[in-house]
A and B are shown apart, each in its own frame.
Chain A
Amino acid sequence: MGSLLASRAAVWDAFTTTLFLAVTAGVLALLVGTLLAAMRVSPYAPLRTVATVYTEFLRNTPLTIVFFFFVFVTPSMGFTFAYKVAAVIALTCYTSAFVAEAVRSGINSVAVGQAEAARSLGMSFGQNLAIVVLPQAFRTAIPPLISVLIALVKNTSVAGAFSVLELFALSKRLTNAHSSDVIAILVGIALCYLVICIPLGRLAAALERKAAFAR
């Protein structure tokens, strides 16, 4: 415990880095994933195909490979990103596929009559989605989406292997430097992750309760 307290400035930096990765990639993945889900139900076949291929591909690729791609492969194609930026891009690409699936299952849970009523009133596809279908889809999608976001928080640790000094990378450094204090360090770092994940779980519960009232 002593070594953790001694390096609390470094822990705080690593914690904010983890939080930055999770929040930035989380927000971006929610946006991109929702767009992908919308593409998958759109009336235009090419959009559906692109979204399906993207989602299936990224869902079934190990996250480390996605990181590898943005850290080592894209520079050879002329796109070099700072490590943190590469990490955000990799996490966003990977997580957006899971968001897309969660939102799509939410969309499928909305009764078809809802979209038909919207169409019969003259709404466009975009209005139908934005006004009628997605608000209802998100209600069912909240529990799986929160799971996706919690997984994202933990997945930020992969960035540690790609030169981003976040919590996991810091824990390796600290345990190497203070081998007698390994357990305390690991427990302390794990607590830092909990500090991010537990409020997410709470948020899920609150949102679900709210959605249940509104139904």
Chain B
Amino acid sequence: MRAAGRAYGRAMTQTTSASRSESGTAPPLVTMREVQKHFGDLHVLRDIDLEVDAGEVVVVLGPSGSGKSTLCRTINRLETIDSGDITIDGSPLPASGPGLARLRAEVGMVFQSFNLFAHKSVLDNVTVAPIKVKRMPRREAEELGMRLLERVGVADQAQKLPAQLSGGQQQRVAIARSLAMQPKLMLFDEPTSALDPEMINEVIEVMTDLAREGMTMIAVTHEMGFARRTADRVVFMDAGRILEVAPPDRFFTAPESERAKDFLSKILHH
């Protein structure tokens, strides 16, 4: 699965921008149309339209409170939406029940606070969903789990509890846990924001590898280096709206909106 995925993925990432504009035959993996979301009186997502193609890496930027987390969370329906449509790989998000669970299994999510299952060993964290949700035999799941832990560089910690690991290690386990479900899409919500500076790179490296292997990703992150090097597109949000969508080189050198200029000057000169 890995080798095939990698080859396929490379081709996808390398041709993404071209194929997006030219052929446009493959349907987008994620489509959000006119999505609206309120928290009480607060209008947190306004007229969100976004398409993400298979193999694409989208980085979401924006000031705190602009709705980035909420955007991610609506895509696997950890938050409901008030109106609009979200489809994943052509299927609309079901409201609840087994259909929703199946769909969630295809969308991995990595949280700022890792959220590893505190009472389970590192390996169990990675194997529990394949075993319980996909009914994968335990041995197979453990082989897969060890392969994934090796891939993110924490195989030697497999028998420990999450609390015994550093933040960077925990976040890499969390990524492995999501990958164990073989998702079509990975969502990252500020995966490095809770980490000490010296641990940020180890997580960014894993994410970069994943992108290179062709994983479709939507990542909220303040790691501008990652955005510049790895993103196919940058989505800039402010006050619940998507204000700009641009390739990273254009966004970072010539942002269009005042809000984006303002945001970049704060981020880049702090």
Q: How many residues of B contact A (CB 8 A)?
A: 31
Q: Is the CB of B118 within 8 A of A122?
A: no
Binary CB contact string for chain A from 133 to 145 against chain B (1 if under 8 A, 0 otherwise): 0011001000000
Binary CB contact string for chain A from 112 to 134 against chain B (1 if under 8 A, 0 otherwise): 01101111111110010001100
Q: Which of B116-159 contact A (CB under 8 A)?
A: 116-119, 128-129, 132-133
Q: Is the CB of B133 within 8 A of A122?
A: yes
Q: Is the CB of A215 within 8 A of B133?
A: no
What's the Cα separation between A39 and B105 when bound, in Å? 24
List, in ascending order, chain A residues with CB within 8 A of B103's CB.
122
The answer to whether B78 has its CB under 8 Å from any CB of chain A is yes
State whether A120 and B76 are in contact (beta carbons under 8 Å apart), knowing that A131-B128, A214-B161 are contacts in the complex.
yes
| Max chain A C-beta neighbours (<10 A), residue from B102, B119, B128, B177 | B119
List, in ascending order, chain B residues with CB within 8 A of A215's CB.
118-119, 161, 163
Q: How many residues of A contact B (CB 8 A)?
A: 21
What's the Cα separation between A44 and B107 when bound, in Å? 25
Question: A residues within 8 Å of B by Cβ?
Answer: 43, 111, 113-114, 116-124, 127, 131-132, 135-136, 139, 214-215
A-B contact pairs, 28 of them (CB 8 A): A111-B113, A111-B115, A113-B114, A113-B115, A114-B118, A116-B78, A117-B115, A117-B116, A117-B117, A119-B76, A120-B76, A120-B104, A120-B107, A120-B108, A120-B109, A120-B178, A121-B104, A121-B105, A122-B103, A122-B104, A122-B129, A122-B181, A123-B129, A124-B101, A127-B132, A131-B117, A135-B119, A214-B161
